[in-house]
Structure formats: C-alpha cells, structure tokens
Structure 1
Amino acid sequence: EQESCALMAMAVRELGEEAISLTGGQIGISTDSSHTKARILDIATERMRTLLDAGKIVIAAGFQGVDADKNITTLGRGGSDTTATALAAVLQADECQIYTDVEGVFTTDPRMVKDARKIEQVSYDEMLEMASLGAGVMHSRSIEFAKKYHVPIRVRPAHTEGEGTLITREGESENIPVVTGVALVRNEARVTLCNLPDRPGVMSSLFQKMSERKIAIDMVVQDVSSGGKAEVTFTIPEADLAETLTAAENAVKEFDSGEVHHGTNVSKVSVIGAGMKTHSGVAAQMFQTLANSNVNIQMVTTSEIKISVLVSRDQCDETVNALHAGFALDKKAAIIPTVGSQQSTDSLKGASANNDIERDVVSRLASMEEIVVSEVLLDGEQSRITIANLPDEPGVAKELFTAVAQGGIMVDMIVQNISHSGRADLSFTVPCNALDSCLLLTRGILEKWQETELTFDKNIAKLSVMGIGLRSHTGVGETMFLALSNAGINIQMVNTSEVRISAVIASKHGNAALQVLLDAFGL
C-alpha cells in the first residue's frame, strides 16, 4: 500500500499536478492494537486539510493506521474500502467513489447469471445484506461506516467512464423494487444444538462462547421449544467450523444437557429488497420458484428486507438462477410479485425518527468503528403460528405461504429449523388482527398432511435490536441475550440479519424486556 501510493503520487506529479503520498500514520489514522484486524478509533484531519487547502492531491495509503504506541497496524479484510469511507466521513465529502474492476453493483453475480443487471441505486441496508451475503463488490465494514456517517458511496468501473452504482439512504420513491438482488454464500456450514434446556440464559451463554472466539455466526434460528427442550441452529463460514464446534461443545457441557450436530455441503441463498416491507407475496413467490425448481429448503430465516434459505450446495447455482428469473431481476422496471398484495406504508413513517436517534448515538461514540445500536423496538401486535411435523420436501412452504399471501396477510418472522427424520417444524408471525383468517387458510392447506400439528399464540412480544455493525461486531447478541437472561426472561424464537436481531418472548414480559434492553444498550 505504501509503495503503491508513493508511485501513484509520482505518476500524478508527472502529469503536472501537485501530489503527496501519506502513510496511515502520517494521515493521522489511530487504531486499537488488534494487529491484522485493527479498528479505527479516530482520524486527525488537520494535516490533510492543510495539504488540500494548499492545492495538493493527497494519495493516502489504505488498510493501515497506528496504535497508541505508534506501531503500524493493519485493518484486515475490507480495510482499503474502509479507509476510503472513513476519510470521506471525517472530511465530510459529498461522495466517496470506489473504483473497482466491475461496472458497479449487480442484481447478482454476473459470472453466475448471464442476465444479471447493474443496479443504478441501492440503499445502505440492502447493500449491507448483499455485502454480507456474498455480493463481493464491497465489504460490509465500509458500508457500515458509510451508513453511520451518512456518506454516499459510488462504486465505479476503473476501466470505463460508467457511472456505476450509488449506495445511499433509502429513497422515498413509490417505484422501489420489491426485490433488489439475490445473494449467495457458497461455502457455509451448519451447527445445530438440540435438546437444550428451555430456560433463560441458554442463548446468552451460547453467544458468549462464540463472541469470545470472535466467531461471527449467521442465520441464527431458534424455533418454539417442545417438551421443555429447545433447538438452536446457526450457520458459519465452513473455514470456522472446527473452532465453532469446540465452542458449541463447551456450551453444551455448561448446560449439562444437549447435543451438537453439524452439516457441510450447504449454501445460503437470499433475496433482498427494501420493497418487501410492504408486499405480502415475496416469501410465497420465492418458495414457489424453489418448488418449481425442485429445490428443498433446509432452513429459513427472515428480516424486514431479506429472506434467506439454506439449500444443498449442489443446487446453489441453480437456485440463484431460478430466483433471479423468478423475480424478473433482469428487467429495469420494478416487477410486482404475482401473489400477495401491496400493503400500507404507515409502518415506515418512523424511519426519519430512527435516523435522528442514530445520528445522536453516532455523535456520542468513543471511537469511529464502535458498534451502533440505535433503537430497540417492541411489537406487541403480533401472533405466532407453529406447524410441527411438516414433510421435509420441495413445495411445502410454497403451498403454505401462497395461501397466506393470497389472503392478503403480511407475514413478519419466518423460522424453519433443520429437519429430523424427514420432518420439519416451521413458525411464523402475523398481525394479531389477521390471526383468525391466517389460521383458517393454514388449516385448509394442512388437511393434506394429517400428521402435522398446529399450535398458535395469539399474543406474543417481539423485541428487535436495530443498528449498524451487528455482523462485524460479535458482541451484540451476547449483550442482548445476557440482559434478558439476567432478567429471567426466556426466549421462544430468534432470527437475525445484518441490521436487526429479533427475539420472540411471552407477551407478559414485553415491557420489562424492552426496558432491560434499552438500559443494556444505553438508549
């Protein structure tokens, strides 16, 4: 990095412009002492501003800084993009432009899908989900920085004059695509802890064990317990499997109950889009597409703007191509799903208030890369439906969620854990006022599977911790679940995303749990 920026400064001078190259330390990038994966604490701007005011072009060495003892540190994966975004933030630049070897951000990997289309504009949250799910153009750490400090990023091609893709805050246009892209994480591994005691503290202890080893777990699924025993499944990069299994075995020993199982040869495929917040048919269309391609779903987890499924690695390429075609992502105009309906946007009106809270939290950060938990939300207007003993075969989720979508019912959380003996359990939440209609539709579909068992809870409390950096920092889940455990509050369901961790608890604990989490995160 240092050699490259020095050579570039010399080349710029030969073109007749004044340029100067600076190392991370000379710029004033202060980091912690976590060598090879240091986090930025602060950036001094005085020297850069003086040079810029003098008309010089500053060529900065990325990927590096210095700690308190002036030792050179490196920022780890995504460090160069992170340096650029951080400099744009402290200099209050209008835009940060990242030049790369691709035309911009595509609807999916164009090497895999020949009809992949370049996206003109994408929101921070959509890009965070796509970056963490394998989109590959930018690392999620730099997107976190950009969202936190409101820096628009433009990803541009270095070899042409193309405008690339603008990554910025979510627009207010009515033409927001329901689905923006399809992302793939090919080399995943699955870890399942079953027969765990269904009591407060289990999730807290598990997350603590993973956090201690800096293991960024993903796609966390906990379904409703049965017979006093709970089951938790999560995915991790396959390269982290051995260390994860060690941590999981340690957790099970601590519980004095439970078993650890794991699986490889799995991949995670996700559809992402801000528009799915207000359309009831995205899950149904996704599951229809997978059923038509005879793809079996091993796990499901959702967020406001993402639906992820775990599938066999042998079928991952086929799955991505099918979903890209199924949502017509090769077309520039936003395509509305053929099932379901558009819903009211009233639920989105709090977005600007949340932005104000986020800005206030950012202004109080001790270091630039400290995690931002900007809000804890309590939703007491949800009901839960659980179906046990479903056949674990293609088409089951399609039939169920198509019926629900055709009834115009918005499904919020969807959780399907790994199957046992060819049978799977699935839970989902719907608005309380839609429960009776949803039960009627669901029972009609379940008539063909007599061995299934349907249960429901009319009143649940769903807690969501929202923020930036929930994936690249491993301690958020630990803090959330420890706070609930210390308050004696048991967790019934869990799902996670890049910007949100959600947990379902008993409705009677809702308000107390909200206060506990507000206190835990200093909000």
Structure 2
Amino acid sequence: MSLIVQKFGGTSVADAEKIRAAARKAVRAQQQGHKVVMVVSAMGKNTDTLLDLASQVNERPPARELDMLLSTGEQISVALVAMAIDSMGSKAVSLTGGQMGIRTDNTFTKARIQSISTDRIERLLDDGNIVIAAGFQGIDEDLNITTLGRGGSDTTAVALAAVLGAEACEIYTDVDGVYTTDPRVLPEARRVDVISYDEMLELASLGAGVMHSRSIEFAKKFGVPIHVRSSFSDTDGTMIVTEPESAAAAVCGAALTRDEARVTVLGVPDVPGTSLEIFSAIADQKVAVDMIVQNIGNDGRTDISFTVQRSDLESTLQAVGAAANRLGAAGISHDDKVSKVSVVGLGMAVQTGVAHKMFRALAAADVNIQMITTSEIKISVLVSRDQADRALRAVHQAFELTVEPADKKSWAQIRAARSEEADMESLVARLQGDVLEELTLTGIAVTPNQARVTLRGVPDTPGIAADMFESVAQAGVFVDMIVQGIDGEDGRTSVSMTVAEAELQGCLKVAKELMQRHGLRDVQGGDGIAKLTVSGIGLRSHTNVGTLMFRSLADVGINVEMINTSELQVNAVIDGKQAEQGCEQLNTAFAGVLR
C-alpha cells in the first residue's frame, strides 16, 4: 500500500467548512488505497493573531516562549481535523511535533530538523489511522517546543514524506499550482505543469509564495516529488521534480521580491578578510543575505553591496556598522525602497543572450537597474520599488512566458522516461544521518584562465546595461559572471564581467567604445584570475556558508576580488595563481558536508 503526505496551509483550514473539505480529501485518498499522513498549519491568520498578542504583552518576547505560544495554532488545527475525519467514519489521530518524534536543534523560532523517529506514525498507519501531524514544530534535546520558522509546515510535510518513503508530497494551498510569475500581480501568468527543484528553489527564494525554499531543499536532497494543488478544486496542479518542463526554454519564470533593502559598505580595504569581517557579523544575527556584489577594487579600496529583507535592515545596519568601523571603511549607505526582479531557468545555462534580452526589456519600459547579479540559472536586478511591477511585466512579456513551450513535457511523460533504479542504499544512509536538514554541498569547482573587464562611472539611467551587453554579444564574447554595484556616492554604478582570457582584448575594445558613447569614467581589464564556485543545497538558508568560505580563503592570504551569489552557488573571483590552493582550502573547510 502506497503512502502519501498531504499538507494543508492556513487558508485551507481557515474555518469549519474548509476543515471538513480538507478532511474529505484525506478520507478519499485512504479509500483509494493509500496510507495518509496530513500535515496541517494553523487556521487562517491565527499565527499573526498570536504574534500580535505577544507584542502587546512584551515588545521583545523571549524566543523560547514565543515558540511555546505559536505552536498552539497547529495543535488547534490538527485536533479539529481529526474530529472532522472521525465524523466521516474514519479513524484519525492528531500528533504534535514532539509526539511524532521530530527532533530539532535549539534555535528557537528558526529551528532545523535533525531527526525524525517514524515508529509511532507507522504503527498508527498500520492500524488504519489517518495521521494528522502538526506542521511547523518539533522539540529539542531538552524537550523544549521549537518552531521551524516561516514556511515551516511545508518543511515538515516534505521531511515526513522523505523519511516515510512517500509516493509524493501533496501541497494543498489557495492557488492551483506554480505560475510563471505571481498571478496576483500579472493576471496573464501561466500555470506550469512541471518545474525542476533548482528552478523552484530559486523562485521560492525570490518570493514566490507557493513553497518555502527550505522545503524545496529537503525535496531535492532526498528526491521527494512535490505536487502543488488547489484546496478548492481538482485541478492537476504542478509537479516539482528533478526535470524541467522544457529543455529548450531559456526562462521558466520571473519573480518579484518587493520588500528588499540595499546596504553598501563604501571604501573597505581590498585585502584578505574584508568579506569575512562583514558577513560573519551579519551571520551572527541569523540574517539571510541575498544579492552580494563585490566589484573590482580601485586604489586599494572596494565597495561591497548586498541586499536583505527590509524587515532585517535595522539589525543588519547595527552589525555592519561595527564591522565597518573595525575595517576603517569610508562609510555605509542604504536604501529601503528597492525591489528585486529576477528571471530563472535551467535553459539559460546553455543559451546565450538572456541577460541583454532582459536588460533591453527593462530599458524599453524605462526601468533603471541599480544592481545586477547572475548565476547559471538566474539573473537578478535591483530596481526602485515604485518601478517593480512595471519591471516584472516587461521581462515576463519579453520571454513570452504566457506561451506554452513547444517541447513541453508532462509529469506522466517525464515519469515514464525515468529509470526506476534509484540508489536506495545511499538514500537510506542519508536519511539515517545525524542531521536531516544539514547543509549539503554538491561540488567545489575552479574555472581557470579567466579575465575581467570593469566599466566605472556608469550613468544611472535606463538602457545602458542593455547597450553594454548587446554590444558585447555582437562582438562574439561570452560573458560568465556579471556584477553591478554602487560606485561611490554620486549616483553612478560600476559594472564588471568575467570572460575567458582569450576574449579579453575583444571585450576591452567594446568596453572602450562604450566608454566614449556613454561618458564613462574609466575602463579596466585584466587577466590571470579564476572563479571559485561552491554549489549545494541550503546555501542561503545556512547563513554561515559565506562566512566559512571567506574565512578559509583569508586564512591563507587569498583576497576575494569579486563576489556573486545565488540560491545554489556562491562564486568568488581570486588571483589565478592561488586557484589550486583556494580550492584545496574550500574542500578542507567543507569536508563534512560535501557529497
């Protein structure tokens, strides 16, 4: 008998009738021959109500007591769902996180799952019960109740599906699948039938509210198929699996992260250890840094820009202020009125022209780009918040995301083509490890024989980025990394790109033409550099990854010249002569989590 895990979010159990509707779905699945585990969130806005109540009693409530309070929301939901199932003539048992054996660390409000004991759940299932599991919570080694943070019920559901060997994890929500962008912002957005873990991981981190990134990390690590479905209809929904919907499409979706804040540390010494000093201070505050842009230094100094959620800005500025003073930085600037617009797709790893197509679309919409970061499957730009919706619509239209790809594949076609021979021994070993939700690195690599070109003093006006990268592409130069950051405090920016050493002269020629055309301050180029790449699952949610990377390089005197980041990679440009040493350092530093 196969087993399925069904997860119902707060809007899906917001009142008595919706609770009964969720219960009917579980009973129907059991009647079809499945063992069923339901994971349930707190009803409607219950968690928000409890948070508001806590703030009325104490402006800064202790984290342990906050977890004790918030966990009650899910306990109410699971009991009511179990009662509803009982009224329908089926057997059900509700369990809290502790009762079902979910052990976490003791990081209150942001705990991570370390292990799950499945004995009790399996006994109850074997006795014919539908098990109703409280999402979002567990217990630490001292039996304190802990919560898993935002999106924690998704993480609970996927984790249970992994350890129980479920056929699939069904996520029931108030939307009927994953869309090419948020349909509440762009009604013309298209629902996709299949999306890959990597694409969904990037979109989730960018604010696509359907799934939380930690749950996708779990699913990717343990190969759990996720089926996103509507609580209120029988629409097929979207499957999240290893393979993408289309092999030919460069872009599968666009996303808007509305409430971002940009911080720039100006004039820091361009020496080993600078990045470590800044980002370790932020990591100590458990703040997740998003876009990181460190451009090529000038006169022994460089600027480092990064983004955080706007709600984390105050604590970030406090942490960075102390670090900047220790470093002797020239100053700190910030802007809390920015948003990030991104395009994501596995296809862009093998297709050229995606960047300048995006930049041209933004220029045509009169949207100015403040920062740029790229990875193999994502391009992100920072824009003014009042231009965010216009920017999202422009890139969504440019990549024709409302149109189904000609080579679109369904989940049934993908599943039929799959090899069913999984490495079960390896999977079981990982599931029996000490820490389920640990950081997992999939590779550390060096890209040697690289060069970089930097354009300084780029006017902060729409259209210039598009002209730059169209001109470079027309010259036949393939660009790898792109970073654009603040260049001083005069409103101009600095854009750097990495290319193969063999293409340096051709790229410099184009850059000098651009300098004349747009009145840039300066153009610089140089070869003899290499790119170090750390790839893995959980890079962003484990806030110490960058810290450990920068520390291991600083320990042997390796200076980081450029940085860019994504959900799946952290890239650092260093002196090519130190590439082998740098790679050895990173392999040693991450030996315990490298798979």
Q: Does 1:78 align with 2:151?
A: yes
Q: What is the CA-CA distance between 1:168 and the residue it aligns to?
A: 1.0
Residue 101 and residue 78 in structure 1: after superposition, are their counterparts in 2 closer, same or farther (change >3 A)?
Answer: same
CA distance in 1, matches of 2:537, 2:427: 12
**Counterpart residue identity of residue 106, structure 1:** Y
Residue 513 and residue 317 in structure 1: after superposition, are their counterparts in 2 closer, same or farther (change >3 A)?
Answer: same
Tell me the equivalent position of 2:555.
Answer: 486
Tell me the equivalent position of 2:187.
Answer: 114
Q: What is the CA-CA distance between 1:149 and the residue it aligns to?
A: 1.2
Q: 1:516 aligns with which of 566, 578, 585?
A: 585
1:355-392 CA distance string (max 9 Å, x none) = 99x97995685311111122111110422111122222
CA distance in 2, matches of 1:34, 1:445: 51
Q: 2:405 aligns with which of 333, 340, 364?
A: 333
Q: What is the CA-CA distance between 1:24 and the residue it aligns to?
A: 1.3
Q: 1:430 aligns with which of 499, 508, 511?
A: 499
CA distance in 2, matches of 1:187, 1:123: 26
Residue 368 and residue 169 in structure 1: after superposition, are their counterparts in 2 closer, same or farther (change >3 A)?
Answer: same
**Counterpart residue identity of residue 590, structure 2:** F
For residues 64-143 of structure 1, the aligned pairs below 5 Å read: 64-143=137-216
Q: Does 1:61 align with 2:131?
A: no
Mapped contact 1:204–1:482 kept (Cα < 8 A): yes
Tell me the equivalent position of 2:440.
Answer: 372
Q: What is the CA-CA distance between 1:333 and the residue it aligns to?
A: 1.6
Residue 76 and residue 272 in structure 1: after superposition, are their counterparts in 2 closer, same or farther (change >3 A)?
Answer: same
CA distance in 2, matches of 1:361, 1:18: 33
CA distance in 2, matches of 1:106, 1:276: 19
Q: 2:294 aligns with which of 208, 214, 222?
A: 222
Q: What is the CA-CA distance between 1:53 and the residue it aligns to?
A: 2.3
CA distance in 2, matches of 1:36, 1:480: 26
CA distance in 2, matches of 1:474, 1:364: 24
Tell me the equivalent position of 2:62.
Answer: none
Q: What is the CA-CA distance between 1:450 and the residue it aligns to?
A: 4.8
Tell me the equivalent position of 2:484.
Answer: 416
Q: What is the CA-CA distance between 1:231 and the residue it aligns to?
A: 0.7
Structure 1: gaps of 5 or more residues: 336-354
Q: 2:118 aligns with which of 1, 20, 45?
A: 45
Residue 364 and residue 463 in structure 1: after superposition, are their counterparts in 2 closer, same or farther (change >3 A)?
Answer: farther
Residue 225 and residue 330 in structure 1: after superposition, are their counterparts in 2 closer, same or farther (change >3 A)?
Answer: same
CA distance in 2, matches of 1:249, 1:50: 54
Mapped contact 1:223–1:231 kept (Cα < 8 A): yes
For residues 110-509 of structure 1, the aligned pairs below 5 Å read: 110-171=183-244, 175-333=247-405, 362=430, 365-419=433-487, 420-509=489-578
Residue 362 and residue 207 in structure 1: after superposition, are their counterparts in 2 closer, same or farther (change >3 A)?
Answer: farther
**Counterpart residue identity of residue 385, structure 1:** V
Secondary structure in structure 2 of the residue aligned to 1:144: helix
Tell me the equivalent position of 2:411.
Answer: none
Structure 2: gaps of 5 or more residues: 1-73, 408-422
Mapped contact 1:207–1:477 kept (Cα < 8 A): yes
**Counterpart residue identity of residue 112, structure 1:** V
**Counterpart residue identity of residue 406, structure 1:** Q
Q: Which has the higher mean CA deviation after the structures are superposed, 10-19 or 408-417?
A: 10-19
Instruction: Provide the aligned length of Structure 1 versus Structure 2.
Output: 502
1:231-287 CA distance string (max 9 Å, x none) = 100111111111111111100121133311111211111111111101111001001
TM-score normalised over the length of structure 1: 0.92
Mapped contact 2:369–2:383 kept (Cα < 8 A): yes
CA RMSD of aligned residues (A): 2.0
1:41-72 CA distance string (max 9 Å, x none) = 10001111222223322111111111212222
For residues 14-53 of structure 1, the aligned pairs below 5 Å read: 14-53=87-126
**Counterpart residue identity of residue 300, structure 1:** I
Secondary structure in structure 2 of the residue aligned to 1:182: strand
Mapped contact 1:280–1:408 kept (Cα < 8 A): no
Q: Which has the higher mean CA deviation after the structures are superposed, 205-214 or 414-423?
A: 414-423
Higher relative contact order (CA 8 A, sep 6+): 1
Percent of pairs identical after alignment? 50
Secondary structure in structure 2 of the residue aligned to 1:114: coil
Q: Which has the higher mean CA deviation after the structures are superposed, 302-311 or 162-171?
A: 162-171
CA distance in 2, matches of 1:166, 1:160: 16
Mapped contact 1:362–1:372 kept (Cα < 8 A): no
**TM superposition outliers: structure 1 runs of 4+ over 6 Å:** 358-361
CA distance in 1, matches of 2:296, 2:142: 50
Secondary structure in structure 2 of the residue aligned to 1:379: strand
CA distance in 1, matches of 2:515, 2:427: 47
1:106-126 CA distance string (max 9 Å, x none) = 111111112111111111111
